Structures are given as C-alpha cells and as structure tokens.
Amino acid sequence: MRFDYALVASKIPEIFHALGVTLFVWIVGLVGATMLGFLVAVARRFGPRWLDLALGAYVELFRGTPFLIQLFLLYFGGPYVGLSLDPIPAGLLGLSVYGAAYFSEIFRAGFEAVPSGHVEAGECVGLTRAQIVRRILLPEMTMLVFPACVNMAVVLLKETAVMSVITVPELTLTISAIGTEFYAFVESLFLLALFYWGLVEICGWLGRLAEARLSRFRFAAA
Amino acid sequence: MTLITFALLLKAACYTVAISGVSIVIGFLIGMGVAAARLSTSRWIAIPAHAFVSFFRGVPLLVQLLLIYNLLPFLGINVPSVVAAVVGLSLCTAAYQAENLRGGFASVPRGLIEAADMTGLSPFQQLVRIRAPIAFRLTLPSLVNEAILILKASSLVSVVGVIELTRMAQDLDTSLYKPIQLYATAGFLYFLINRCLAFAGASAERRFSWGRA
C-alpha cells in the first residue's frame, strides 16, 4: 500500500471542517432534544390528560421507529407538505425530535424518583410551590438523571453519522468521500472509526468527571 | 398505495426480521464469550475483550457496517452484502449483550453461591444450575431491549445495499414519488414489529419469573 502524505495533508482542512459540522449538529441537536424532552416531560406530568396521551403516542412512535426512517420522512416527505429544509436544518430538527422522545422518558422517570418525603418536607417548612420545584425537585432530579443523560448524549453523537445519508457534510460523509476519491476505503473508514471512538471516549470521560463533581451535592438524595 | 406496493414492503419487513433475528442470536453467542473473557482473571484475556466492547460501543453502527463491507473484500473475503451486514450487526450487538450479561452475572446474589458451596455443588453445577439461570432471568429485559434496538438499527443495512424494509421503501420511492406514504408505512411496520417484540418480552418475563422471591 502506497501512502501519499502530501495528498493526505491537503485533505486535513476538509476533515477538520467536517469534524466541526459533526460537533455542531451534535451539540445543537443535543440542546434541542434536552429542552424539548424536558418540556414534554413537564407537559405530561402537569398538563391535562389528553395532552399526556397525545405526547405518550409521540414518544412511543419516535422510540419505536428507526432514526433513518424519520429522517427520510422529514427530508424527502417534507417538501410535499410545504416543509423544504436544507440537509443541516433537517438533520438538526430530526435529531432534536428523535432525542426528545428519549429524554422525556429520562426526565419522567427522574421526576418520579424524587422521594415524595422531600417534597412534603418542603411543604412543611412553608416553601412555596415554585420554591419546591426550584430548590428540591429540579436539583434532585438533575442528580438522578445525569448519568442517563450522558449516555443519551453518546447515543445522539453516534446517530449524527446517519445524517450522512441525507448529505449533511459531517465526518462520515466527508471521510468516505475522501476514501472514494483516493480509492482507499478501508484506511479512511478506519480513520473515521477512530475519530468517533475518540469522541465517544472523551464524552464518557467528561461525563464521569462531571458526575463526580455533582456527587458532592448528593447528601439528600441518598 | 396499491396492494402490490404494500405486499413488497411486507416481504421486505420479513427480511428485516430475519436479518435482525439472526444477528441477535449470533450476537448473543459471541456476547457470552466476550462476557466470560471480560470476567477472566487473566489480563491478557480481559483487556482485549474490554477493547472489543469499547470499540463496538463507541463507533456508530453505520461506520462499522461501511468498514466491514469494505474490509472483507480487502482481506480477500468476497461475500454477499447481506453477510457483511449480518457480521456488522452481530458484532455490534455482541458488545452490548456482553455488557448486559456481565452485569447479570455480577448481580447474582453472593449468598446463593455460598449456599451452593455449602450443599457441595461443583463449580460447573453452580454455573449451570444457579448462576446461569439467574443471570439469564436478570438480563432478559435488556435482551428484549437490545432486540428492539437491533431491529431499528437494521435500517442502516440499507446503506450497504441490502434490500430490507428501508431500502425497499427507498427503491419504491424512486419510481413512485410517494415518500410520505412509503416511509410512513415502513415506519409503521417497524413500530408494529417492535410492539410485538415488547409484548413477547413481557410474556417471557412472566414465564421465567417462577420462584422469584
């Protein structure tokens, strides 16, 4: 196997740009999915019954179908109902709506896992409803759901690779295109796998670090 | 949507089920080996098993599939794309199932093993009669979960040219131009299969919950 370093070097800016796109769609999609998922969980817990049922159907449907099918429906079906999106916005919207279905279940379980005694204790010492949510429910829930959220962040990072199918110019699309150009599929795909492996390991490491820091506050939930 | 189109999608859905089913079973067998290797006291066995799990859980399945699809011919192994797809899915699910099994074996209550020691069961008898059945029962829910994940993940196999449900919907769309109906039907079929799996899983859990304290 011959290896032309000059050719490879000429592609480095392109690879870094693609890495930027992957990180961008991941982080923006992650933030969107977390916020949307939180809203869904809150609406299901505190909203009327019909809203709970409707959102429950949404969660089941989006957790029960492949992300790829959802992306195809949005990207190729969208224009037929007046929703023409470019690849990156389509990917971001798809990832947010897909991830939100999972995040809402994480938050729902989190709400349920906060011991009711803590909320009652807050009521007893005369905290208002808003204070109970802000001082007791949310901090304790954050602690409880944090590991699951880190896990979900890693899942979504890996799902960004699927966006290459609807031509989002992220790592998978760019590096496989380079592989085709140089007729070096195996080498480029190994490089691609290493990129993701590294990103996932870094993400898991940061998650464990943050968890360790958060656990300093874990005096009540235990 | 005509009846013929629906029949084609239904047939492709059966293919999807077959690919996922075979991958789950092969993945379970490999996963057992990997879990045993990870629990080994020898570092020379445990560390490679750990690397295997870390790699296949840390790289997107799409990238794994593309890699295996291109790597096999590169190594001089020419197989149909469906074989490459099954190899990819099996290795990926093996890594996840190995972790589930490891967790299951680790959660077998210590007292039960001590009780088995006291009654004079040999290590092999302990494995077959006590540890494996309890670990299996503990990992059954995550096994069902994994089956659902793999069924959904099998849609990625369409990218390496296997004509399963997703690819069939895509191919039909290129001639019919009805993306909404086609992808919604495909999605609904995935959803239906997943519901059946979840239902079967719940029945199996009830079936195997005999003698639970």
Out of A64, A69, A196, whose CB is closest to B194?
A64
Q: How many CB atoms lie within 10 A of CB B65?
A: 26
In a domain, A181, yes or no: yes
- Half-sphere exposure of B157 toward its Cβ, with a 13 Å CA cutoff? 32
Q: Return the pLDDT at B39.
A: 85
Q: Return the pLDDT at B107.
A: 87
CB–CB contact B70 A69 (8 Å): no
- Please tell me the distance from the alpha carbon of residue A195 to that of residue B59, in angstroms, as a whole number: 9
Q: Return the pLDDT at A129.
A: 86
Cβ contacts of A192 on chain B, cutoff 8 Å: 63, 67
Cβ-based burial of B130 (10 A; exposed 0-12, middle 13-18, buried ≥19): middle
Q: Return the pLDDT at A218.
A: 63
By the 8 A CB rule, do B108 and B81 touch?
no
Nearest-10 Cα torsion for A73, A75, A78, A83:
150
Shortest Cα–Cα distance, B108 to chain A (Å)? 24
DSSP letter for B155, please.
Answer: G
Query: B91 vs B136, which has greater pLDDT?
Result: B91
CB–CB contact B191 A64 (8 Å): yes
In a domain, A222, yes or no: no
Residue of B nearest to A192 (CA): B63
Query: B131 vs A160, which has greater pLDDT?
Result: A160
Q: What is the mean pLDDT of residues B55-61?
A: 94
Alpha-carbon radius of gyration of chain A? 21
Categorize the per-residue pLDDT at A4 as very low, low, confident or very high, splitting at 50, 70 and 90.
low
Out of A60, A65, A192, whose CB is closest to B152?
A65
Q: How distant, in Å, are the alpha carbons of B80, B94, B138, B140 from that of B127? A: 39, 21, 15, 17
Q: Where are the domains of chain B?
A: 3-207
- Residue B49 predicted with pLDDT over 60: yes
> The domain that contains A159 carries what CATH number?
1.10.3720.10
- What total of structural domains would you count in chain A? 1
Q: Return the pLDDT at A194.
A: 92
The percent of residues in chain A predicted with pLDDT above 70, rounded, is 95
Q: What is the mean pLDDT of residues B156-174?
A: 92
Mutate to test the interface with B, among A67, A68, A164, A188 (most CBs of B within 10 A): A68
In a domain, A175, yes or no: yes
| Domain hosting residue A42, numbered range | 5-217
- pLDDT digits over B86-120, tens only? 999 999 999 999 999 999 888 888 888 889 889 99
Q: What token pair was written down for B212?
A: 């639970």
- pLDDT digits over A201-219, tens only? 999 999 999 988 887 766 5
Categorize the per-residue pLDDT at A221 as very low, low, confident or very high, splitting at 50, 70 and 90.
very low
- pLDDT digits over A23-45, tens only? 999 999 999 999 999 999 999 98
- Please tell me the distance from the alpha carbon of residue B96 to that of residue B28, in angstroms, as a whole number: 9
- Axis crossing angle, helix B132-153 with helix B81-106, rounded to the nearest 10: 140
- pLDDT digits over A112-147, tens only? 888 888 888 989 998 888 888 888 888 888 888 998
Mutate to test the interface with A, among B183, B188, B197, B199 (most CBs of A within 10 A): B183
Cβ-based burial of A24 (10 A; exposed 0-12, middle 13-18, buried ≥19): middle
Q: Return the pLDDT at B85.
A: 94
Q: Return the pLDDT at A114.
A: 86
Closest C-alpha among A213, A95, A211, A103 to residue A162: A95
By the 8 A CB rule, do B179 and A72 touch?
yes
Q: Return the pLDDT at A222.
A: 44
Cβ contacts of A65 on chain B, cutoff 8 Å: 152, 187-188, 190-191, 194
Q: What is the mean pLDDT of residues B122-147?
A: 88
Q: Averaging pLDDT over each range in A150-159, B67-76, B107-116, B134-143, which range is the top one? A: A150-159
CATH-assigned architecture of domain B3-207: Orthogonal Bundle (1.10)
Q: Return the pLDDT at A219.
A: 54
Q: What token pair was written down for B133?
A: 């059945």
Q: Return the pLDDT at B106.
A: 87
- pLDDT digits over A87-118, tens only? 999 999 999 999 999 999 999 999 888 888 88
The percent of residues in chain A predicted with pLDDT above 90, rounded, is 60
Q: What is the mean pLDDT of residues A164-183?
A: 90
Lowest mean pLDDT, pick from A18-27, A163-172, A190-199, B104-113: B104-113
**pTM attached to this predicted model:** 0.89
Q: What is the mean pLDDT of residues B139-165?
A: 92
User: E strand or H helix at A187, and its extent?
Assistant: helix A185-214
- Please tell me the distance from the alpha carbon of residue A92 to that of residue A163, in angstroms, as a whole number: 9
Checking ipTM against 0.85, whether it exceeds it is yes
Categorize the per-residue pLDDT at A3 as very low, low, confident or very high, splitting at 50, 70 and 90.
low
